[in-house]
Amino acid sequence: MLKKAFQTKSSKFYLLIFILVLAAVLRFFLIDQPFIDGTSWRESDTATIAENFYRGNWNILYPEVSWNGPANNYVGYEFQTLTYITAFLYRIFGQHDWVARSVAVLFGLWGIFAFHQLVRRVWNQESALVSTAVLAFLPGNICVDRTFVPDPVMVSLVVTSVWLLVAYLQTEHLHYLLLASLIGMWGFLTKISGIFVGIPMLYAVLTILSSKQRLRSKQLALLGGAALLILIPVVAYYLWAIHISRTYPPYHIAASGYWVWKFGLHHFLKQNYFLPELYAQLTWLWTKPLIILIVVGLFLWPPYSQRNSNADEPLEIRASKAPWLFHWWVLAFVIYYLIAAQGLVENPTNLNIINPAVAALAGNTLMAIASFTQRIVGATRAVVLIAVILLILGGVGSKNLKSMYSPYAENAYKLGLALNQISQPNDLVVTIAQDIGDPIAIYYSRRRGWVFPPATTWSKLDWWNGIRDDSEAIRLLKELQTKEAKWFGIVKNQKDKIWKENPKLAEYIEQKFSPISTPLLKCKHCKNIAFQDSPDYIIYRIP
């Protein structure tokens, strides 16, 4: 259908470039925003690791955070692709938030290009262009691609791996298989949740080889060897991460609290498997109109068939498609959700793994709408209709993006800047941000110190909903005092809550610590001049 509107390769090429340029503009908007949006916790945590690499700890096998005191605080996290590259760029451009965000954006843009190549091979060129436009303008994808977390890096790498695997299966050129294996390994190392994409990859192998009558033991042995090339380093690294988390304080491993076996199936069922929360997150990340397109796309026949294949494609590609690949991708996500529902709804950036599949399904729905429209008013007007629908989706999504960019943790950011100005480089700080445990104030103080309550107590006591035990909190403050903590900073909303709900703790702070006046904050993102009576935070000197 779209061939009538875009008959030449050059027109399709220029349209792809146009989509990528618009995607870049959307993702580089507010690229210098500090890590104060809704994912501030995860971003500032990641940023402390990049900062410690930049400061001189260049061993990538020992990612280190700054929010558990002055000692070596190694954590069992993912392979540090994002933070390590960012740390190197800090040496060239300086330590700036726009540098960190730009690394994530560039990986995200590459992921959009790789997605186009994948859809082109498993469906056709016209579907690839429409689906790529959906992914490029998907509000949740725009938001995550500019977020300083490993998700956009992982997704771009695994999409590239699937594309190259399909290219190998269609052409049997071994360099595609080698690249698919190395990049897939890199993607799974960057974030282990990417391994669920192995399910649609297995589908592609069985479908394409069967269509070519190449499902033989020799071919399967070669692919099995490639799978081992991927899995052995991935398993080895994550065993190492577990070792790190059990050896060094704060004894922390990524994603340890997400899984159904930690809480028990009864807990997930009691919470209705977090489906209301999932719907709320998807409505925020995708918008309701796009959800409708996705659901319709789930029940539509895939767009590829022999009779409508591209004549300009080699016969080996036209005869070996994987039309249901993205449906299997959705099935893989469902399996992921069944075992990690709580983590997926609590950290919506984890949902980024499903975005390529839903973009393809929504693109398929748009192709069906355009095909129906073409029969009535012609191909050109059908293309115009697709463009109008995409603009409407973008307009609806822009409202969601505005909320995604909202400065949720700005108070803690200002607190960190003030601590940086009044403290010495070797001073240790203690902070309480909008959320208990959020290290954003420590990161922007450029100091080491502790979130309060300290991270090593999280597994023993339930601090997430507030400080419930005044005596234990006072004991922990005294302990940090003996460890030479110099400054105690707390954002205003947490101070008000503690002074209301924890009078003994508040009395101890007022009697033992000294509130200090802070100098003028020179910060283009700060709207107010911040003194000791700032509406945003208060800082105490610890004697």
Contacts of 96 (CB under 8 A, 6+ apart): 32, 90
In a domain, 179, yes or no: no
Please, which pLDDT band fits residue 313 given cuts at 50, 70 and 90? low
Residue 224's SS3 state is helix
Q: Answer yes or no: is pLDDT of 528 > 60.
A: no
Distance in angstroms (rounded) separating the CA atoms of residues 204 and 495: 55
User: Whats the size of the chain, residue-wise?
Assistant: 543
For the stretch 35-70, pLDDT in tens is 999 899 999 999 999 999 999 999 999 999 999 999
In a domain, 188, yes or no: no
Boundary (domain end) residue, out of 351, 378, 404: 404
* Claim to verify: residue 20 and residue 94 sit in the same structural domain: yes
* Claim to verify: residue 395 and residue 453 sit in the same structural domain: no
In a domain, 421, yes or no: yes
pLDDT for 3:
54
Domain that holds residue 472: 410-541
* Claim to verify: residue 261 and residue 392 sit in the same structural domain: yes
For the stretch 315-359, pLDDT in tens is 556 557 889 999 999 999 999 999 999 989 988 899 999 999 999
Q: Looking at the DSSP assignment, which residues form a beta bridge with residue 491?
A: 537
- pTM for the complete prediction? 0.92
* Claim to verify: residue 91 and residue 143 sit in the same structural domain: yes
* Claim to verify: residue 362 and residue 420 sit in the same structural domain: no
Question: Which structure tokens are listed for 148?
Answer: 């300083």
Question: Which structure tokens are listed for 434?
Answer: 């909008």
In a domain, 189, yes or no: no
Distance in angstroms (rounded) separating the CA atoms of residues 469 and 504: 10
Q: 401-437: string of b/e by CB count within 10 Å (b at 16+)?
A: beebbebbbbbbbbbbbbbbebbeeebbbbbbbbbbb
Please, which pLDDT band fits residue 8 given cuts at 50, 70 and 90? low
Q: Which long-range contacts (CB under 8 A, 24 or more apart) does 528-535 make?
A: 528/414, 530/414, 530/418, 534/414, 534/418, 534/492, 535/492
* Claim to verify: residue 397 and residue 442 sit in the same structural domain: no
Question: What number of other Cβ atoms are within 10 A of residue 507's Cβ?
Answer: 13
pLDDT for 531:
44
Boundary (domain end) residue, out of 369, 404, 439: 404
Domain count, the chain: 2
In a domain, 49, yes or no: no
For the stretch 377-410, pLDDT in tens is 877 788 888 888 888 888 888 888 888 888 999 9
* Claim to verify: residue 442 and residue 518 sit in the same structural domain: yes
Boundary (domain end) residue, out of 380, 404, 428: 404
Looking at residue 329, its amino acid is: W
In a domain, 529, yes or no: yes
Distance in angstroms (rounded) separating the CA atoms of residues 253 and 244: 8
* Claim to verify: residue 378 and residue 454 sit in the same structural domain: no
Least confident residue range of 75-89, 348-362, 366-380: 366-380
In a domain, 132, yes or no: yes
Query: What's the average model confidence in pLDDT over 223-232?
Result: 94
* Claim to verify: residue 334 and residue 309 sit in the same structural domain: yes
Mean pLDDT of the chain: 89
Please, which pLDDT band fits residue 521 given cuts at 50, 70 and 90? low
Please, which pLDDT band fits residue 532 given cuts at 50, 70 and 90? very low
In a domain, 520, yes or no: yes
Going edge to edge, which strands form the sheet with 448-451? 448-451, 428-432, 485-491, 537-541, 514-515
- Whether residue 342 contacts residue 113, with contact meaning beta carbons closer than 8 Å, is answered with no
Distance in angstroms (rounded) separating the CA atoms of residues 377 and 379: 7
